[in-house]
């Protein structure tokens, strides 16, 4: 018993792995210290960081001296232990670029956009509270797409935000708008797109126009001269702007015309029948609700007709990104819209069907227009779907429940760690280009291997600082192993696993894995550390997801995150990335 107790608290100081020792010996030229000039050579040659200078090396050395020895000023240089410490600090030697570095002068549709679904909900889709807190949190995490569902209050004289036809408690629209204004550009200067699910009368639409004009003022972007946008502006031109996106309100004419329109809308094409939701009563219930802006909602339209026969012109004018629908068939919707730009929204199920039937049409559509994908109605617990199918078809707004923690959300976090976490990621050229015969990227086609990513998992550290000593095992140190996944086009999917290191808070695996990639531009590297448990489910020890296109070559410190995506203070891995 006492032996086990002692083992639990036995902490061994982490030691540099052989590759780190070899790199130090090589660039320190066999000496006991690495000078600033030698460190620059290491950064440029080994880490592939072009443009590094002696001043950069001096700054790194001063930072390390201050952390390790609490001193400033010059020393002889970095010792092996100092060098190892530098490599293991993710703020000095992280795996991806922490600054905005993509071309931000391209039009809006050329970017993946960090997008939320029902952004006001604190929990599940049926009975949780509606609040401004999730909106604020999303914006502070870099989310650029905020969704608000608009409904009349009980007195029909004001606007509430809530998930309609559910037990969710409402929040006043004005409170949401003010929170968006206050927090919109805390994390990123690039535009915030507010998608509105509109279930309002023309009178209340006019009130919304007044509210958004009052709150946002000059921050609000909308077409000044044309009725609609012919092309989307660039992100650079849209800095610090708020953009409204919803379906323009209908103009109702005579009751005769209205009956004819209702009859026409009930007609379904063969494709619509194929794509019809069949997920049971809850799905039917919720998908009706989603029709408020992205598909025609006949009940909502009828409600508007009783309240007036004219649209609110100011409200209509403020809609910069107009949402269309697929009433004439999905393929028609994907192939139309050449004169003006718009947004089309599909449930995750309809996207899967569209990807199966019309993959290249989807890609072509997203080269000029915006495609938004949202979770199916049965996800009442606010879970999420696999986002990669949307991204590989060019969908810009893959909308997620940001409170729906799990592997899918980890992937979402991973993609939007790109480009400095600004919420916009430039789509790879393969999704933007057309060939001589107007051909575009087809995700279903298998391509030759373009490059191979080699990943070495050296070691891990920090659990002893961020977890209690009995968290993983009451009587002994943990038994850690690391799982590595490639997520992307189907041909590139892969997973590997290190061996289990028993009884060690600082596990050293020192294992290399190779991943051949056909479309590295769309690949994510997902990493998860687990603690082996013989009798129960293995314990979670941290995770991260990184875009392969952003990975820095060389030996890197990779910070890990908890299940909710919060970064651990100390837990990190030491890894090496190489491309061949």
What pLDDT was estimated at residue 38? 97
The candidate with the shortest Cα–Cα distance to 193, out of 252, 243, 227, is: 243
- Tell the burial category of 311 from Cβ atoms under 10 Å away from its Cβ (0-12, 13-18, 19+): middle
d(CA 240, CA 243): 10
What pLDDT was estimated at residue 250? 80
**Residue in the structure block whose two tokens are 């550290």:** 461
The candidate with the shortest Cα–Cα distance to 346, out of 322, 367, 376, 320, is: 376
Structural element, H or E, at residue 432: none
For residue 9 the two structure tokens come to 């608290």
Q: Is 158 left (phi over 0), alpha (psi -120 to 50) or beta?
A: beta
d(CA 88, CA 334): 48
What pLDDT was estimated at residue 299? 52
The mean pLDDT values, 10 residues at a time, for the chain of 580 residues are: 46 87 97 96 98 95 89 78 97 97 98 98 96 98 98 96 95 98 98 97 96 98 86 97 94 46 37 38 34 45 57 92 88 80 95 96 96 96 97 98 96 98 98 94 95 98 96 94 97 98 97 98 98 93 98 98 97 98
d(CA 18, CA 438): 52
- Tell the burial category of 230 from Cβ atoms under 10 Å away from its Cβ (0-12, 13-18, 19+): exposed
Answer yes or no: are the C-beta atoms of 492 and 519 closer than 8 Å: yes
3-state secondary structure of 553: coil
What pLDDT was estimated at residue 276? 44
The candidate with the shortest Cα–Cα distance to 547, out of 568, 525, 579, is: 525
> What secondary structure letter does DSSP report for 306?
H
What is the CB neighbour count within 10 angstroms for residue 27?
A: 21
Q: How many CA atoms lie within 13 A of 278 on its CB side?
A: 5
User: What domains lie within the chain, and their CATH numbers?
Assistant: 13-87 (1.10.238), 108-431 (3.20.20.190), 446-580 (2.60.40.150)
Answer yes or no: are the C-beta atoms of 579 and 553 closer than 8 Å: yes
d(CA 577, CA 317): 50
What is the CB neighbour count within 10 angstroms for residue 71?
A: 9
Query: Rounded to whole angstroms, what are the CA distances from 281 to 125, 173, 285, 300, 380?
Result: 15, 29, 6, 20, 12
- Tell the burial category of 308 from Cβ atoms under 10 Å away from its Cβ (0-12, 13-18, 19+): middle
Structural element, H or E, at residue 7: helix 2-8
Cα 323 to its chain centre, rounded Å, is: 22
**Residue in the structure block whose two tokens are 């780190």:** 20
Active site members: 117, 163
Alpha helices by DSSP H, listed for 226-294, are 255-266, 270-275, 281-294
Residues 6+ apart with CB under 8 A from 462: 560, 568, 569, 570, 571, 572
Report the DSSP pairing between strands 508-517 and 451-461. Answer: antiparallel
> Using H for helix, E for strand and C for coil, what is the string for 499-519?
CCECCCCCCEEEEEEEEEECC
Answer yes or no: are the C-beta atoms of 120 and 196 closer than 8 Å: no
> What secondary structure letter does DSSP report for 34?
B
Answer yes or no: are the C-beta atoms of 242 and 194 closer than 8 Å: yes
Q: Which residues pair with 516 in a beta bridge?
A: 452
Its pTM stands at 0.90
What pLDDT was estimated at residue 73? 57
Query: Rounded to whole angstroms, what are the CA distances from 129 to 140, 163, 166, 256, 420?
Result: 20, 10, 11, 42, 32
d(CA 202, CA 250): 10
For residue 27 the two structure tokens come to 């660039």
Structural element, H or E, at residue 202: helix 202-216
What pLDDT was estimated at residue 10? 57
Answer yes or no: are the C-beta atoms of 504 and 496 closer than 8 Å: no
Alpha helices by DSSP H, listed for 295-399, are 298-307, 313-317, 330-335, 348-368, 388-392
């Amino acid at each position: 018993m006492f032996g086990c107790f002692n083992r639990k608290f036995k902490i061994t100081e982490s030691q540099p792995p052989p590759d780190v020792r070899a790199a130090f010996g090589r660039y320190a030229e066999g000496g006991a210290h690495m000078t600033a000039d030698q460190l620059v050579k290491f950064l440029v040659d080994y880490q592939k960081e072009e443009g590094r200078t002696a001043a950069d090396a001096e700054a790194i050395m001063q930072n390390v001296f201050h952390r390790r020895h609490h001193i400033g000023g010059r020393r002889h240089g970095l010792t092996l232990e100092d060098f190892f410490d530098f490599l293991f600090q993710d703020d000095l030697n992280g795996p991806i670029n922490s600054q905005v570095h993509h071309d931000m002068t391209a039009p809006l549709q050329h970017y993946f956009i960090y997008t939320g679904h029902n952004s006001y909900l604190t929990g599940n889709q049926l009975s949780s509270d509606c609040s401004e807190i999730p909106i604020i949190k999303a914006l502070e995490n870099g989310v650029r797409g905020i969704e608000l569902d608009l409904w009349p209050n009980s007195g029909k004289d004001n606007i509430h935000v809530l998930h309609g036809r559910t037990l969710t408690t409402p929040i006043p629209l004005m409170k949401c708008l003010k929170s968006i204004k206050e927090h919109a550009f805390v994390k990123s200067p690039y535009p915030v797109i507010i998608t509105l699910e509109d279930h309002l009368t023309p009178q209340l639409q006019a009130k919304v126009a007044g509210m958004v004009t009052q709150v946002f003022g000059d921050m609000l972007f909308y077409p000044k001269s044309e009725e609609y946008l012919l092309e989307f502006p660039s992100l650079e031109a849209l800095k610090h702007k708020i953009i409204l996106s919803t379906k323009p309100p209908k103009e109702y004419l005579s009751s005769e015309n209205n009956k004819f329109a209702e009859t026409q809308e009930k007609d379904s094409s063969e494709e619509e029948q194929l794509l019809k939701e069949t997920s049971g009563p809850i799905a039917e219930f919720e998908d009706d609700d989603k029709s408020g802006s992205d598909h025609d909602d006949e009940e909502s339209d009828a409600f508007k007709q009783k309240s007036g026969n004219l649209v609110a012109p100011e409200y209509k004018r403020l809609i910069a990104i107009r949402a269309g629908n697929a009433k004439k068939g999905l393929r028609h919707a994907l192939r139309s819209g050449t004169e003006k730009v718009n947004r089309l929204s599909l449930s995750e199920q309809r996207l899967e069907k569209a990807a199966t039937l019309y993959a290249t049409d989807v890609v072509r559509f997203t080269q000029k227009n915006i495609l938004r994908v949202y979770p199916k109605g049965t996800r009442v617990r606010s879970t999420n779907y696999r986002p990669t199918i949307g991204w590989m078809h060019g969908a810009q707004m893959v909308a997620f429940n940001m409170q729906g923690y799990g592997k899918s959300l980890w992937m979402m976090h991973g993609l939007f760690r790109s480009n400095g976490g600004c919420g916009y990621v430039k789509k790879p050229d393969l999704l933007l280009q057309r060939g001589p015969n107007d051909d575009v990227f087809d995700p279903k086609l298998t391509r030759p291997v373009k490059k191979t990513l080699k990943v070495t998992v050296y070691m891990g550290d920090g659990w002893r600082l961020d977890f209690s000593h009995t968290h993983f095992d009451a009587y002994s140190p943990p038994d850690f192993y690391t799982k590595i996944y490639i997520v992307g086009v189907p041909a590139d999917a892969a997973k590997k696993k290190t061996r289990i290191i028993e009884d060690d808070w600082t596990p050293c695996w020192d294992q290399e894995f190779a991943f051949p990639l056909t479309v590295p531009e769309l690949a994510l590297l997902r990493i998860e550390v687990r603690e082996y448990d013989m009798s129960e489910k293995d314990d979670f020890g941290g995770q991260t997801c990184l875009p392969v296109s952003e990975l820095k070559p060389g030996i890197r410190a990779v910070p890990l995150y908890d299940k909710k995506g919060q970064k651990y203070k100390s837990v990190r891995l030491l890894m090496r990335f190489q491309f061949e």
